[in-house]
Structure 1
Amino acid sequence: MIKVASYNIHKGIGLDRRRNPERVLEVLHEIDADVIALQEADRRFGAKACVLPHNLLEEHGDWIPVDFGLRSLSMGWHGNVILVRKSAQVLDGEAIHLPSLEPRGAVMADVRLGSETIRVLGMHLDLSGLWRRKQAATILSHVDTCTDRHPTVLMGDLNEWSAGSGCLRDFGRDYAFAETGASFHSRRAIARLDRIMVSRELKVVECGVHASAAARKASDHLPIWAMLEAL
């Protein structure tokens, strides 16, 4: 089985308004997932450096970031990062340009963990429902046109407040949702803004929201996770 997780780390700024990457890393250790999609992992201005320093991750984490070959100081694309176990093999990785009013994007990687290979997409969609649906269509089209096929996981902050309409309906035509639960706001979660979706080749064995004391302080979102099994 493979454990995946998605976490909007809010640029490393916790509810105490302090930027604390060590606290984010503590939460990642608690979750202990094989593949992690991060959102808001870059600073907003300037060179948009990643808020989770490479040396901190290298020395104190069991993960490496997928290299998308874009900004030198950033780990990902528009704040989207995919972390994988150091023992994993990254077969391919690319950034996906999304139509948007805000700076938005998605990232994709094919990852081999042991004998299993999965395709992982991390995303952070727009605040506008119209643009979210356009972005969902772009992501789905991009996956559909890939030459190689792999069991696929879509993860991220969809910014969708509805229960089952909008972009949820679009993704739901081809992907099953892991029923992880409400993840926003971390102090008192009431909305399922963060989602994990899987293709038909994968089964969600177990899933949930990680609501430890550290997670409730580290970001305004709680991380979500799922244990997956190939069918």
Structure 2
Amino acid sequence: MGCPVRLLTCNIHHGQGIDGKVKLQRLASVLQQYNPDAVALQEVDRHLPRSHLRHQARVLARYLSMYFAFAPTINWLGICQYGMAVLSRYPISRHQYHPLPAGTEPRGLQVTRISLREEGFLLLNTHLGLDYREREIQIKEIRKILRLLNGPVVLAGDMNTEKLAIPELPVTPVPTLPTFPSYRPRFALDRIFASCHWQVVHAMTLPTTASDHLPLLVELVLES
């Protein structure tokens, strides 16, 4: 059994805390304390006025001394964008974006390969829809993609539901941990699922009011 890999997922709400103020460094300070190996982020802005025109994925990556890959789900004039990002302490050797069937808001699946040691692993990042029928269609599409992948895989993100099982990724923390709303967590909307190559060592939420969701941190090890 190898060394634990610390994976974190968080819907950052474009850096806006429950006080209504956008303070990206506040969130970065929380993440830095827990020293994750890789991070899956949702609701990330790039050059939007509401978040001071910053490329948030790049800013967080620089603050945490990590590599990053940004995947926009919404574009305005090709300049202002909104979407997801993966940060990693190790090089990101692959990055793809798969649009998912969606309703009122575009949704997608970000696929990255994290070059950890020899084999590496695939880290997938998503933010599912609000409507359960929409989510069912999106999960079916994600499962199709998963069946085409080989080797260790982790899927992280804001699933917008507590009732979710993915047969291709049976390893997940039990019990689920509530992450929303951050000031009084009741719903386990943010989840991490892994292929049978992995074993869960530890899972916890990080106390913070830097977003309306709590970050979820999961330690996994690759089984020998």
Report the TM-score, using the length of structure 1 for normalisation: 0.83
- The answer as to 2:212 corresponding to 1:227 is no
Q: Deviations over 1:157-202 (max 9, x none)?
A: 00014xx4xxx13x14542222351010100100000000010011
Task: Show the counterpart of 2:85.
Answer: 81
1:13-162 aligned at under 5 Å gives the runs 13-42=16-45, 52=56, 54-55=58-59, 57-58=61-62, 60-66=63-69, 78-85=82-89, 88-101=90-103, 102-146=105-149, 149-161=150-162
Matched AA of 1:140: R
Q: How many residues align?
A: 214
Q: Percent identity?
A: 28
Residues in 2 aligned to 1:69 and 1:45: alpha-carbon distance in whole angstroms: 12
Matched AA of 2:153: T
- The answer as to 2:167 corresponding to 1:177 is no
Q: Deviations over 1:9-65 (max 9, x none)?
A: 01111011011111111121022110100010126968x96652625632x222121
Which consecutive residues of structure 1, in runs of 5 or more, have no partner in the other structure? none
Which consecutive residues of structure 2, in runs of 5 or more, have no partner in the other structure? none
1:221–1:67: structure 2 CA closer, same or farther, 3 Å change rule?
Answer: closer
Task: Show the counterpart of 1:205.
Answer: 201
Q: Deviations over 1:76-114 (max 9, x none)?
A: x851111001xx122211011100012211201111113
Per the TM alignment, residue 138 of structure 1 is displaced from its structure 2 partner at its CA by: 0.8
1:53–1:8: structure 2 CA closer, same or farther, 3 Å change rule?
Answer: closer
Report the TM-score, using the length of structure 2 for normalisation: 0.85
Superposed CA RMSD in Å reads: 2.6
1:17–1:81: structure 2 CA closer, same or farther, 3 Å change rule?
Answer: same
Runs of 4+ in 1 over 4 A off after TM superposition: 43-46, 48-51, 67-74
Equivalent position to 2:190, from 183, 191, 194:
194
